[in-house]
Copies of this chain bind each other. A is one copy, B any other.
């Protein structure tokens, strides 16, 4: 065990004291240790620490005249919740077994997104380990964990985190997290951690008492923004950069997904994202393994994934929501809200060829032009992460319904074929592999009645503003909302579940066996579509995918003769003609 140094940054405080409590001792059994600051505002104990501080210990800080200790901004554990004392955790204590693990590069990979609390009935990291062989069988390469940082209450999506350095206790805490990552590596699975650096949750955030972490000038719908470029922001940025390093180094995480980077307001000459890329590259060399950084961004700005040498930020990849929107409109015909401009299969064809749909073109939803073209001659396709459904798309529908309840099983298979055989980096949301019918709803568990009511009302107001039927919106605070959102693994055992799972397993095998499909050069492929009939034809090297999104059969002339490798729905070949029944598709290889 290494004893932590209990250092804490509080540059504007006149007095800071460390409060310690041995594990298992009553609440009032506190030891107070004096601290002194250095010139940068970092306070450290001046007195010798009691012996029990060598073990895991509860602790907090008294700022100025306060009589109640508050948690550590860099707390590793919050065993009694976000308002109580922190607990130390020595990340070097774990006996890793992944010494022959050299990471996995993102290029060529398939991601599986999961939420620990609803992935299994128990909702823990350890219970998730039991499902890893299922994911290996499915054929994915990366597991992306939705945020696991400490948040208010017992269950939450995770984007309400307030202790970015802690692993939520109900998931098993930091030790279980290490065991989970180790178990993944043992099976050849890499782990991507979703991290939120753009805002803090609404309760349990004591950081503003310590220093100017927040700034109103960067406020978003989620509240005050993070102070990335104001006074004292050097230390605030270090808070973020050190956090990224913590996951990658202490927990052997193989990459990060950066939540909503468009909400990172930063006017500095070197953007936080570039700083993150620089430090992560350095860490990658130190650890000898790739450490991809994936941004969630709705900016359609190729700068994010452009190399730093070419003036970009040097991130590894970013989400392309445009792919989802084009696919969604093609499948459902819905064109409300931000779907407005996506003219179904024509939009999908454009995304296949250019990565973005909005490439400096008009976005009527935004009331302005949006985006910039990707340099398709030099940007590999896999730098875009795509999906047919994800936690946001599902959870932000009023009743949290999956695509599986909006379209039929044939259409689900069709969506899988288009997404998983695309040249991009596909991502599957947990349960999608068998067409799960369980909803994934917006759930919270704020213990404070006022906050609970405000969250519930806010949710209703949000949908009312969009003219949605608010009767369908479940109360986020109702425990049943959380319960309903858990995966029902018995669905996988049904015939319908098995069939769809088997199709997706086959699709992923075809993806691996026929690299023309995933050739990262945009110019090695083309896509054509017929919007009236609703079909899409993707040609990549020797491979062809022909898909009919429409409810009426369609015939598509192929550019060259193929042998079919897989059909979904009623699809057949008649020489060089693909005869595609309603909601069907096939993939084939040149004869």
Contacts and interface: CB of A to CB of B under 8 A. Distances in A.
Interface of A: 100, 102-105, 107-109, 141, 188, 278, 281-290, 306-312, 375, 378-380, 382, 515, 518-521, 524
Contact of A284 (B107, B306, B307, B521): B107
A103 to B, nearest CB: 7
Given A281-B520, A285-B520, A290-B105, A308 B515 contact: no
A520 B524 CA distance: 34
Contact of A288 (B100, B108, B284, B288): B108
A103 B105 CA distance: 9
Per DSSP, chain A at the interface is: loop
Contacts of A287: 108, 515
11 contacts: A104-B289, A105-B289, A107-B281, A108-B288, A283-B515, A285-B380, A285-B518, A285-B519, A287-B515, A309-B309, A309-B375
B108 A282 contact: no
Contacts of A102: 102-105, 188
A305 to B, nearest CB: 10
Contacts of A105: 102-103, 105, 284, 288-290
Contacts of A282: 515, 519-521, 524
A444 to B, nearest CB: 38
A340 to B, nearest CB: 33
A515 to B, nearest CB: 3
Which among A288, A379, A520 has the highest number of chain B CB atoms within 10 Å?
A288
A308 B378 contact: yes
A196 to B, nearest CB: 27
Nearest to A110: B288
Contact of A286 (B306, B311, B518): B518
Nearest to A100: B188
Nearest to A188: B100
Contacts of A306: 309
Contacts of A108: 284-289
A520 B310 CA distance: 18
B379 A285 contact: no
Contacts of A310: 307, 309-311
Contacts of A109: 288
Nearest to A290: B105
A289 B188 CA distance: 13
A309 B188 contact: no
A102 B106 CA distance: 11
A78 to B, nearest CB: 30
A375 B102 CA distance: 28
A521 B290 CA distance: 16
A307 B310 CA distance: 8
Contacts of A382: 285
Given A100-B188, A103-B105, A519 B309 contact: no
A291 to B, nearest CB: 10
A459 B333 CA distance: 76
Contacts of A284: 105, 107-108
B286 A515 contact: yes
Nearest to A305: B309
